[in-house]
Amino acid sequence: MAIDKKFIRNIGIAAHIDAGKTTVTERILFYSGKNYKLGEVHEGTATMDFLQEEQERGITIQSAATTCPWTKDGQEYKVNLIDTPGHVDFTIEVERSLRVLDGAVAVFDGKEGVEAQSETVWRQADRYEVPRMCFINKMDKLGADFDYSFKTIKSRLGANPIAVQLPIGHGNELEGIIDLLGMKAYYFDADSQGAKVTEKDIPDDQADRVAQWRHEMIESAAALDDNLMEQYLEDEDSITVDQIKAAIRKGTINLECNPVFCGSALKNIGVQRLLDGVIDYLPNPEEVPPVTGENPRDKEEKLERPHSDDAPFSALVFKVVNDTHGDLTYMRIYSGTLRKGSRVINPGNNKKENVSRIFEMHAKDRQALEEVGAGNIVAVVGIKDSITGDTLCDADDPIILERMDFPEPVISMSIEPNTADDNRKLGEALVLIRREDPSFQSHYDDETGQTIIAGMGELHLEIIKNRLVRDMKIGVEVGKPRVSYREAISGSAQNVQGKFKKQTGGRGQFGDVTINLLPYTKEEAEADGLNFKDNIAFENKIVGGKIPKEFIPSVEVGIRQTALSGISAGYPLINIKAELVDGSFHTVDSSQVAFEQAARLALRDAVSKAGSVLLEPIMKVVIITPEEYLGNITGDMASRRGMITDTEDRGHVKAVNAEVPLSEMFGYTTILRGMSQGRAANSMEFLAYRPMPPSLQAELVKSGG
């Protein structure tokens, strides 16, 4: 029986690495009755971290989707939950999860507060306008400080946090939590793993603190609602719990505030109340705006789909996982109903897809469904030609939902199979991994005869290598990681001709094009309505049929392929616009191949005239260190061509923010540990591509990369 959408929540747990996301998720599964025993990350038994690599490293790599029931006030709810990774190399997993969620729980470490990756995840959620609530976890940790962590949510994220709970004690003395709405204290019984909860009056020694925080909560809630503000100014005590809840719920859904909860997932304190909060404050599928997209038959026409089972079917694929029973395609259904055995269309490639089976997932386990309505997250079997970011919809009423942006890989390495059999298996495996992971790329280098794999960081590539060797049993040798540089132009070039002429007896080859080449950005392409695929725009400005229409696409292909393989040092040429302005043709000798070659010649000449510059990936690095190591660390940063942008106090430690070229950061974590006797930590994420110093550029070109 279809469940009313009011009782569905699609949520994600997202945060900095080691803030305890997976432990929170494990507790949610335990208390909702999905698991009968608790899984632990540190023991390698977490349900959601079911990859061997995840269990060994104690980190989450793939976002795992699960469905669990939760009963509140006698009403059963269905919570579709996605546990996302915190490590920056797997930021794509977070990105694609946020795209399909209605709400998120941001988890913070009670001692550290907001950390670097927490900021990245928060900004991603801002971009997709995902309402979120906060959970200050690890309040049992030595040095945990609720007030400090709460302040960092305000100062570092620019958010509007509203505390609805307070911890009773902290560190080893953490006893329970206080509910600021119901004004009760809750204690979680250790013997029953927190399943037995006792409600008591607030301890006397907490009364003043609770009164202050409750006053601030009511004041913040009143600021979200004009009627409530009037009532607050007249008589604060007349405001009811239901009124406060309604104001905070409305504010959360409208992205105006973030309710803050606290506890310790590891010590089983506060997770049930957090789930109640998910029900109270995060939206159901009907409370988020209707999904929008474009009409594939007319790209200018914008379409909307209401979250209704009766509307035409539309869904977004957000993950593809290779499975023993065939590929599992995870999708969020935005409108309509999907039935087992039905046929749908992928309007992006115009291919029909068969939905042979539908599953509701619980990490590795699954429950078969006959049909499923809007607002649900499911996995289906039978989809062959759709990948992450693709839309699936009703063939009679097509729509293309907004795609996701995937970051460019910044690091690559060569990989060579040991035997002919390994070579065959490697080709199939790389296709499979590319389908699953849109931030991974691979290609064959004709010059060196090597296969090159590229990803978001050293850990990303290491895990892919381990997957090939250990899970897929393919014998491979890998080279050293290399930085993925890019090429750009420093100026522009006008009216550059490329002429391809070949006469070999009989029919010859003739193509002649003239192009303008100029620096160009994604923003300019969007404003001009041009396709900016691979950071390259092409515009046909030919008038009067100087080049026949059928040869124009060949010119574009020639330019795009040449740009991708690079001009000066073999690195992709990006952020350019090529305008085709003139040319000529031969009625007999002209062909598509000839115009492709002419375009190649024109682009090479235009780049040398415009001036070529190599770009290198710059990483945003955050280092947390005790003060006594600060001098050594900043000195070392300078030697790595790093630019320190900010140093701030975070309790007893210093946080150093720097921008450093990726090429200078290989193996940095080990060096940092050595410099600080293992007490400093760092996180790193891609920031931007920037020009290299000319001396290093010349060296790189000379060495052939």
Report whether pLDDT(54) > 60: no
The span from the CA of 81 to the CA of 9, in Å, is 8
Task: Decide: 578 and 516 in contact? Cβ < 8 Å.
Answer: yes
280, two tokens? 């109270």
- Helix, strand, coil tally for the chain in percent (to 5): 30, 35, 35
Cα-Cα end-to-end distance for the chain: 60
Report the alpha-carbon distance of residue 476 to residue 454 in Å, rounded: 16
Q: What pLDDT score was predicted for residue 16?
A: 63
Residue 86 has pLDDT above 70, yes or no: no
Structural domain includes residue 396: yes
Answer yes or no: do 120 and 193 share one domain: yes
What is the mean predicted confidence (pLDDT) over 448-467?
A: 82
Say which CATH number the domain at 240 has.
Answer: 3.40.50.300
Q: What is the per-residue pLDDT for 52? A: 45
Prediction pTM value: 0.72
Long-range interactions of 308-313: CB distance < 8 A, separation 24+: 308/335, 308/336, 308/374, 309/2, 309/336, 309/337, 309/373, 309/374, 310/336, 311/335, 311/336, 311/374, 312/336, 312/393, 312/394, 312/396, 312/397, 312/399, 313/337, 313/338, 313/344, 313/392, 313/393, 313/394
Residue 17 has pLDDT above 70, yes or no: no
Average pLDDT in the chain? 85
Q: Report residue 412 CA to chain centroid gap.
A: 20
Domain with 295 in it: 291-401
pLDDT (tens digit per residue) in 273-320: 999 999 999 999 999 888 888 888 887 788 999 999 999 999 998 888
pLDDT at 51: 39
- Evaluate if residue 679 carries a pLDDT over 50: yes
The residues, any chain, with a CB within 8 Å of residue 518's CB and separated by 6 or more, are: 489, 492, 493, 576, 577, 579, 610
User: Which of 469, 484, 499 delimits the end of a domain?
Assistant: 484
Residues 397 and 460 occupy one common structural domain: no
pLDDT value at 458 more than 90 = no
**351 and 386, same structural domain?**
yes
Question: Can you give the pLDDT at residue 223?
Answer: 94
Tokens of 398: 């097509």
Which of residues 145 and 324 earns the better pLDDT score? Answer: 145
Please tell me the predicted confidence (pLDDT) of residue 64: 53
Residue pointed to by tokens 């995902």: 130
- Residue in the structure block whose two tokens are 């599953």: 359
Q: How far apart are CA 280 and CA 249, in angstroms?
A: 7
Residue 247 lies in a domain: yes
Whether residues 550 and 491 share a domain: the answer is yes
Average pLDDT, integer, range 575-592:
92
Of 673, 665, 661, give the one whose Cα is nearest residue 624.
673
State whether residue 309 is helix, strand or coil: coil
User: Per residue in 542-573, pLDDT tens?
Assistant: 988 899 999 999 999 999 999 988 887 788 99
Flag whether 21 is in a domain: yes
Q: Are residues 267 and 321 in the same domain?
A: no
User: With bands split at pLDDT 50, 70 and 90, how would you rate the model's confidence at 37?
Assistant: very low
Across 28-32, 59-63, 512-516, the highest mean pLDDT is recorded for 512-516
CA distances from 665 to 16, 234, 302, 319 (A): 21, 59, 45, 31
- Residues 678, 566 share a domain: no
- The pLDDT value recorded for residue 654 is 87
d(CA 660, CA 410): 13
Q: Evaluate if residue 62 carries a pLDDT over 60.
A: no
Q: Do 594 and 627 share a structural domain? A: no
What are the tens digits of pLDDT across the range 238-269? 999 999 999 999 999 999 999 999 999 889 89
Q: How confident is the model at residue 57 (pLDDT cuts 50, 70, 90)?
A: very low
Question: Percentage of residues in the chain with pLDDT exceeding 90?
Answer: 43
Give the model's confidence band at 346: pLDDT under 50 very low, under 70 low, under 90 confident, else very high. Answer: very high
Tell me the C-alpha distance between 329 and 590, whole Å. 45
Summarize pLDDT for 614-629 with one digit per residue, the tens.
999 999 888 888 889 9
pLDDT digits (tens, 9 = 90+) for 364-415: 577 889 999 999 989 899 998 888 788 999 999 999 988 766 667 888 888 9
**Residue 41's pLDDT band (boundaries 50, 70, 90)?**
very low
Residue 93 pLDDT class (50, 70, 90 cuts): low
Report the pLDDT value the prediction gives residue 337, as an integer from 0 to 100: 94
- Residue 406, in any domain of the structure: no
- Alpha carbons 477 and 459: distance in angstroms, whole number: 17
Is the confidence at residue 607, as pLDDT, over 70?
yes
Cβ atoms within 10 Å, residue 480: 7
Structure tokens that stand for 44 in this block: 């390698």
Q: In total, how many domains does the chain have?
A: 5
Q: Tell me what pLDDT residue 669 has.
A: 80
To the nearest 10 degrees (0 to 180), the angle between helices 241-253 and 271-281 is 70
Contact 186, 176 (CB under 8 A): yes
Same domain, 224 and 241: yes
Give residue 91's pLDDT band: very low, low, confident or very high (50, 70, 90): low
Residue 539: its H or E element: strand 536-540
Give the three-class secondary structure for 516: strand
Radius of gyration of the chain (CA): 28
- Identify the three-state secondary structure at position 354: strand
- CATH code of 534's domain: 3.30.230.10
Q: Rounded to 5 degrees, what are φ and ψ at 415?
A: -140, 125
Lowest mean pLDDT among 46-60, 658-672, 681-695: 46-60
User: What is the CATH number for 446?
Assistant: 3.30.70.870
pLDDT at position 167 = 95
Judge if 528 and 439 occupy the same domain: no
Name the strand (E) or helix (H) holding 56: helix 52-57
Residue 507 pLDDT class (50, 70, 90 cuts): confident
Is the domain of 421 the same as that of 471? yes
DSSP letter at 405 equals: P
Q: Is the pLDDT of residue 65 over 80?
A: no
Looking at the domain assignment, is residue 63 inside a domain?
yes
> CATH number of the domain that 678 lies in?
3.30.70.240
Structure tokens, 262: 């606290």
Q: Are 22 and 125 contained in the same domain?
A: yes
The answer to the question of residue 362 being in a domain is yes
- Among the three residues 238, 253, 287, which one is the final residue of a domain in this structure? 287
CA distance 389 to 97: 11
Does residue 621 belong to any structural domain of this protein?
Answer: yes
Q: Which of 11-15, 190-194, 199-203, 447-451 has the highest mean pLDDT?
A: 199-203
Q: Specify the pLDDT at position 43.
A: 39
Question: Looking at residues 433-437, what average pLDDT do you find?
Answer: 80
Pairing of strands 184-188, 176-179: antiparallel
Per-residue model confidence (pLDDT) at position 506: 67
For range 436-457, the mean pLDDT: 79
State yes or no: pLDDT of 503 exceeds 90. Answer: no
Q: Do 296 and 283 have their domain in common?
A: no
Q: Are 341 and 377 in contact (CB under 8 A)?
A: no
pLDDT score of 633: 93
pLDDT above 60: residue 363:
no
At residue 538, the pLDDT reads 95
As a whole number, mean pLDDT of residues 29-58 equals: 46
- Look at residues 588, 610, 632 and tell me which one is the last residue of a structural domain: 610
Q: Is the pLDDT of residue 87 over 80?
A: no
Instruction: Identify any residues that bridge with 294 across adjacent strands, giving them in sequence order.
Output: 302, 400
Q: Is residue 304 part of a domain?
A: yes
What DSSP letter does each residue of 639-692 carry, written as one string?
Answer: HTT-EEEEEEEETTEEEEEEEEEGGG-TTHHHHHHHHTTT--EEEEEEEEEEEP
Least confident span in 362-371, 461-470, 578-587: 362-371
Q: Is 271 helix (H, G, I), strand (E, B) or coil?
A: helix
C-alpha closest to that of 615 among 562, 686, 683: 686
